């Protein structure tokens, strides 16, 4: 599933090809996504000039002269810029054709993604749209830090891994990034969030920022793929320290790494380094 760093990589890849261009046509081959694309959407967006692009959590917002497009990649979606006349492939459900002949093509085999128009501007949609208004702060933004996590956790009784993966607490900390961040912060993923102290939360917040920034930077090395007809977005591939390495020795202490289910997700950890 594309996570925040992958979506940020997607944003950086498509932004220079979209901003300032006019929409020649919106072609919807199959409207049956997680929320069906309303039949009037092509008429609403055709002819509009694309303004700024933004990201909120894992949602991409494409600003228009009137309203915005909200795009979510779901579990299997991807976006790419294709050259004029490029034939669609199976599961290429939407084309946003541009005035220079290129188009932004939305590919989604499992159809859990979204491609919706809203009359709100991107700025207003981020605080008012039902899909966005209840989301927690961005982990790379100024409003996210250890003090915030500590204060919010005092009344919670859930595992800290589930706590930081809650999008109402903070957005974009997916399963892989939660595992890696907790390992680097030395916190056991099953520890109750209200039993973690302020200084450890400050360390965890800093670690979450570092892990996400590193993933974005590495994902950014493959931005050229966004203009390749056969290319896929440059999804982040890092040298993972614990995720997927159950039974292997911890890189710090040598103890075999373990895995357990927490909140229906696989959680990888070192029983010696994390407590």
- Active site residues per annotation: 2-3, 58, 265
Contact 241, 214 (CB under 8 A): no
- Give the whole-angstrom CA distance, residue 147 versus residue 197: 10
Binding-site residues for DNA sit at: 91, 110, 156
Binding-site residues sit at: 91, 110, 156
Instruction: Write out the two tokens for 170.
Output: 């903070």
Q: Cα(first)–Cα(last) distance of the chain, in Å?
A: 29
């Amino acid at each position: 599933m594309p996570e925040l760093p992958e979506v940020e990589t997607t944003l950086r890849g498509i932004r220079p090809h979209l901003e300032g261009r006019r929409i020649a046509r919106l072609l919807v081959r199959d409207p049956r996504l997680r929320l069906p694309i309303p039949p009037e959407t092509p008429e609403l967006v055709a002819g509009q000039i694309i303004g700024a692009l933004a990201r909120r959590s894992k949602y991409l917002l494409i600003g228009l002269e009137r309203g915005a497009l909200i795009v979510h990649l779901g579990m299997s979606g991807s976006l790419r810029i294709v050259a004029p006349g490029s034939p669609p492939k199976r599961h290429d459900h939407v084309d946003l054709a541009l005035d220079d002949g290129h188009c932004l093509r939305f590919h989604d085999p499992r159809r859990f993604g979204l491609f919706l128009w809203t009359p709100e501007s991107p700025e207003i949609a981020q605080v008012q749209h039902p899909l966005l208004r209840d989301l927690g702060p961005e982990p790379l933004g100024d409003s996210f830090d250890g003090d915030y996590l500590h204060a919010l956790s005092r009344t919670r009784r859930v595992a800290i891994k589930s706590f930081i993966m809650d999008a109402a607490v903070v957005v974009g900390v997916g399963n892989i990034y939660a595992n890696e961040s907790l390992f680097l912060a030395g916190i056991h993923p099953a520890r109750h969030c209200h039993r973690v102290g302020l200084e450890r939360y400050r360390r965890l917040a800093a670690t979450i920022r570092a892990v996400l920034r590193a993933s974005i930077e590495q994902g950014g090395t493959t931005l050229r793929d966004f203009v390749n007809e056969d290319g896929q977005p440059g999804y982040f591939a890092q040298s993972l320290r614990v995720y997927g390495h159950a039974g292997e020795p911890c890189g710090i202490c040598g103890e075999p790494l373990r895995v357990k289910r927490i909140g229906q997700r696989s959680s990888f950890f070192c029983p010696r380094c994390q407590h």
